[in-house]
Amino acid sequence: GNRKEAVEYILSSKKDRYEQDLVTQHIVSSLKQCGARSVDGTHDIVHLPHLVHLRTKLSASLTERSLLDNATRLLQAMNPTPAVCGLPTSV
């Protein structure tokens, strides 16, 4: 298929945006639970050889102490993400 059409489709797809937002909200929530003071995100498109993928780049501000105290908790809270296993992530 045409790459331009694929980009237009994914950007206009309510389903894809909704699913991306669920994953993003999960990650942001996990970061905040572990001491992130601010979390910012931007959407973009990743162009791979055979597909285009909607991505959200996140950046978070954590104090060094918060990161040291919460590193294991943060990894446990974020993995697996809903992109891998759906919601809820714990049973």
pLDDT single digits (tens) 60-72: 888 777 777 778 8
- Burial of residue 47 (CB within 10 Å: 0-12, 13-18, 19+) is exposed
CA separation for the pair 61, 52 (Å, rounded): 29
Q: What is the pLDDT of residue 90?
A: 64
The mean pLDDT of 67-79, rounded to a whole number, is: 79
Task: Label residue 89 by pLDDT band (50, 70, 90).
Answer: low
Q: Are 51 and 6 in contact (CB under 8 A)?
A: yes
Q: Residue 78: pLDDT above 90?
A: no
Task: Label residue 1 by pLDDT band (50, 70, 90).
Answer: low
pLDDT single digits (tens) 27-56: 898 888 888 888 888 889 999 888 898 999
Question: How confident is the prediction for the chain on average, in pLDDT?
Answer: 84
